[in-house]
Amino acid sequence: MTEHILRMSGITKTFPGVKALQNVNLSVRRGEIHAICGENGAGKSTLMKVLSGVYPHGDYEGEIIFEGRKCEFGGIRDSEHAGIVIIHQELALSPQLSIAENIFLGNERARRGLIDWNRTNFEAAELMKRVGLRENPTTPISDIGVGKQQLVEIAKALSKEVKLLILDEPTAALNDDDSAHLLDLLRGLRDEGITCVIISHKLNEVTAIADSVTIIRDGQTIETLDMASDHVTEDRIISGMVGRALDNRFPPHEPTIGEEVLRIEDWTVYSPSQPGRKVVDGAALTLRRGEIVGLAGLMGAGRTELAMSVFGRAYGVHISGKIFKDGKPIEVRNVQDAIRHGIAYATEDRKRYGLNLIEDIKRNISAAGLTGLSRRGWVNENEEYQVAERFHKSMNIKAPSVESIVGKLSGGNQQKVVLSKWILTEPDVLILDEPTRGIDVGAKYEIYTIINRLADQGKAVLVISSELPELLGLCDRIYTLSEGRITGEVPRADATQESLMYLMTKGQEK
Amino acid sequence: MTTLTVGRASVPTKYLPVLVTGCLFLAMFVAGGIRYEGFASGQVILNVFIDNAFLLVVAVGMTFVILTGGIDLSVGSVVALSTMISASLMAGPGWPPYLVIPLVLVIGSGLGLVMGYIVHAFDIQPFIVTLAGMFLARGLCYTIGTESIPIEDPTFTAFAQARLDLFADMWISPSVIVAVVVVLAAVYVLHYTRLGRAVYATGGSEQSALLMGLPVARTKITVYTISGFCSALGGVLLSFYMLSGYGLHAVGMELDAIAAVVIGGTLLTGGSGFLLGTVLGVLVLGLIQTIISFEGTLSSWWTKIFIGMLLFAFILLQRLFSARSRR
């Protein structure tokens, strides 16, 4: 039996009201590439934050043994000192500084308090050679692409004498060439004796490079598989990731589906931050009256990007494609156009994009539909109050009055305010992005009931969700999205978690 | 916790800063009345209005800008430029006031419009844009003249020196009427129109406002235009008060206006605050000056010291509220 470099046992981490990790065990052998797989929100990132000291010792229960020693990290500095380096999905580089400066940031090559620039640039060049980055060490970070920035992060990790390198979704933002290069690099590092833990949604990559894989589901470790001896396939991993039974969490619903309301054709969107990267690629979908349609996809698949670009080009650049409303082509140039054409979009990040948290319920509800509540610019406050009162009752918003500040409501009630706001604009199409994120189970049921009611009123609803059981329980038809492309369209009767997960992780065919 | 219990009545937290400023004003007035003879009269308060009508008008414009989360540093310079343009046009070519005043208002609004457009179109911090506007307007004053230009137009001086008698020997100047009209109009716009809603929503969360389909761009340009208009009008009122145009008028007035808005309880980050607060803020600043002058022995720099301390206190207070509401 090979030696284990890391053993985490019995890790339990609770956030107020939620058990994010429950008795999780993870053992990583020295010199292997160990993948961690799980659905969005399964607890992978939380586990890595526990390991790297982001959540300090005492903040969680359980034991971490690294290199045979019990570790009690008080912060990232401690874990880095021990030789554990984590590279987050959002890269932590300072864009205006040079590659060399970034590599040695916080760890400067200095002599008597003064930076030794020769040594800095020379050693940086050595490290860059090791990771296969052909650039001048003095180039600013903002001048190189994301793929190369990822390499700088790895070079930075190497400069700290890393023993265990953790990568969180390293290839999520990369194109195929950069991904392939990165995976080659990881193999090279493994051969040099550096152990890697990689969190990835791309199962083809996992099966290609990992030596073993640990599957986490709902904050618990399900199993650890050895890739070679267990003959692990993508399907095997998928069944581990989703294997969970559906219970009675969804109100019953009989849909009455009418004619087509919204159709999108050949929809392509480019990333505004990374020129040339397609985030949505030739997507097409159709929504019909009274129908609840699901959009499934893993993080980074382009779900939100697709929805927001349709909603008045609120995201993305060089958007091309056609939108048809009731069979007729329409121009949607901005959010006002979208609202006028009866399209509403409830964002996945309510607090940042969906609400004015320092304002009251009444004014949040009326914000998008103010035109209907005012005449020649003057707002009819009486009518506004009555409208808000109506939603307060019909949506069962739990707050003392419609003048309560929205920032102080619970997640479920905030979401009801967001939904009220959009219902007031009398939309024909509602796009709901993660409508139940951060909402407790009871309130979820209420939100599902509201969604069903909206469909019964003849509206078309598109639900984006990371939770497959939610899509299966709620939707009449489900689209799957992978790497910006629609990879499947499945009626509810034929859909299973496994079949969806297969479509969601299907890479691009060449 | 949305309410704070004061005695038996409970006040929503959003009114609390205004209430605190109101109480402070009352306390200062009462303290002054006890300490100085002849202080506790209605005319003292009216004098505060008379002496600060221009500041009040400027602060109203500033309130709009700050509510959207912006800032306008150009107001003091625009005030000076307005006095300068008015004085020079009336003294030199002898233009009548009813032509000069509208022209000045158009120039001020135009400057605001341009700054608002730059803030929006190039996505530059308002601080930088209006700082540039501040230097520009101040510099333009000196291209007109480096000396103080007296205003001798008879209609203008007559209006400026008019006294409107109220009951019981109290009086106000026409400027006060103008300022009050501006305040009432602004209250109406902020609280009863779609523009007002868009101002609060933009300041509360610009990204949310965009995704709610609110006209964020138009709103931002509009508030700077309003601020420019108010500065120009403030300039006209200042020339009534000073009867001169001078490039050194209203130096640092932008900071007085910001102080008044902040003391009035408006959040510098935007989205929360009331015009009534700004009115109280101006009154508090004015009353400090009055107290210093009643004291007689204190130098006028004590005004600045008190304003400094008050600002500290109010910013701490706001910090306290926002920290608590986030919990």
What are the pLDDT digits (tens) for A24-56? 999 999 989 999 988 766 788 888 888 888 888
* A101 pLDDT higher than 50: yes
- Residue B64: pLDDT above 70? yes
Contact A168, A88 (CB under 8 A): yes
Rounded Cα–Cα distance for residues A478 and B34 (Å)? 76
What confidence tier does A71 reach under pLDDT thresholds 50, 70, 90? confident
Fold topology of A256-342+428-510? Rossmann fold (3.40.50)
Q: For residue B297, with 0-12 CB atoms within 10 Å meaning exposed, 13-18 middle and 19 or more buried, which class applies?
A: exposed
Q: Are A455 and A291 in contact (CB under 8 A)?
A: yes
The amino acid occupying position B226 is I
As a whole number, the mean pLDDT across chain A is 87
- For residue A88, the model assigns a pLDDT of 83
Residues of A in contact with B1 (CB under 8 A): 408
Residue corresponding to tokens 């608002």: B116
Q: In terms of CA atoms, which chain A residue is nearest residue B189?
A: A378
Report chain B residues whose CB lies below 8 A from the CB of A314.
210-211
- B110 in A contact zone (CB under 8 Å): no
Of the listed ranges A243-252, A354-363, B53-62, the one predicted with least confidence: A243-252
Q: How confident is the model at residue A428 (pLDDT cuts 50, 70, 90)?
A: very high
pLDDT of residue B119: 95
pLDDT at A245 over 80: no
The reported pLDDT for the residue numbered A18 is 66
Q: Does B194 touch chain A (CB under 8 A)?
A: yes
Q: In 3D, which of A445, A505, A495 has the Cα closest to residue A37?
A: A505
A352 band by pLDDT with thresholds 50, 70 and 90: confident
Contact flag B194-A371 (C-beta cutoff 8 Å): yes
CA distance A298 to A291: 23
Domain A4-242 fold is Rossmann fold (3.40.50)
Contact residues, chain A to chain B, C-beta under 8 Å: 311-312, 314, 334-336, 338-339, 345, 347, 352-359, 363, 366-368, 370-371, 374, 377-379, 381, 400, 403-405, 407-408, 421
Per-residue pLDDT at A1: 46
At B326, the pLDDT band (50, 70, 90 cuts) reads very low
The tokens 């993508």 sit on which residue?
Answer: A234
Q: What is the pLDDT of residues A207-222, one digit of tens each?
A: 889 999 999 888 888 8
Q: Which residue has the higher pLDDT, A342 or A350?
A: A342
Question: Considering only the top CATH level, what class is B50-312?
Answer: mainly alpha
In order, the DSSP letters of B73-138 are: TTHHHHHHHHHHHHHHHHHTT---HHHHHHHHHHHHHHHHHHHHHHHHHTT--HHHHHHHHHHHHH
Whether residue B208 and residue A354 make contact (CB cut-off 8 A), yes or no, is yes
Can you tell me the ipTM of this complex? 0.76
Residue ranges of domains in chain A: 4-242, 256-342+428-510, 355-426
What is the layout of strands, in order, in the sheet containing A61-66? A18-29, A4-15, A61-66, A69-71
Residues A297-314 have a mean pLDDT of 87
Kindly state the helix (H) or strand (E) to which residue A124 belongs, with its residue range.
helix A117-130
Q: Which tens digit of pLDDT belongs to each residue from A174-229?
A: 777 788 888 999 999 999 889 999 998 778 888 889 999 999 888 888 888 888 88
Instruction: Name which of A258-267, A270-279, A427-436 the model is least confident about.
Output: A270-279
* pLDDT for position B323: 58
| Model confidence band, residue B6 (pLDDT cutoffs 50, 70, 90) | very low
Mean pLDDT, to the nearest integer, of B219-239? 96
- Three-class DSSP category at A40: coil
Neighbouring CB atoms inside 10 A of A442's CB total 8
A375-411 pLDDT, tens per residue? 888 888 899 999 999 999 999 888 888 988 888 888 8
Of residues B1 and A380, which shows the higher confidence score? A380
Task: Report residue B3's pLDDT band, with 50, 70 and 90 as the boundaries.
Answer: very low
**Cα distance between residue B280 and residue A290, in whole Å:** 54
Mean pLDDT of B166-173: 84
CA angle B260, B263, B269 (to 5 degrees): 95
**Closest Cβ–Cβ partner in A368, A381, A407 for B212:** A368
Residues of chain B with Cβ-Cβ distance to A353 below 8 Å are: 205, 207-208, 211
Write out pLDDT tens, residues B114-153.
999 999 999 899 999 999 999 999 999 999 988 899 888 8
Q: Is B242 helix (H, G, I), strand (E, B) or coil?
A: helix
**pLDDT tier, B22 (very low <50, low <70, confident <90, very high otherwise):** confident
Cα B264 from chain centroid (whole Å)? 11
Of A368, A374, A377, the CB nearest to B213: A368
pLDDT at site B324: 57
Instruction: Give the pLDDT of residue A110.
Output: 83
Residues B244-250, mean pLDDT to the nearest whole number: 89
| pLDDT above 80 for A247 | no
Sketch the domain layout of chain B as residue ranges: 50-312
pLDDT value at B82 more than 60: yes
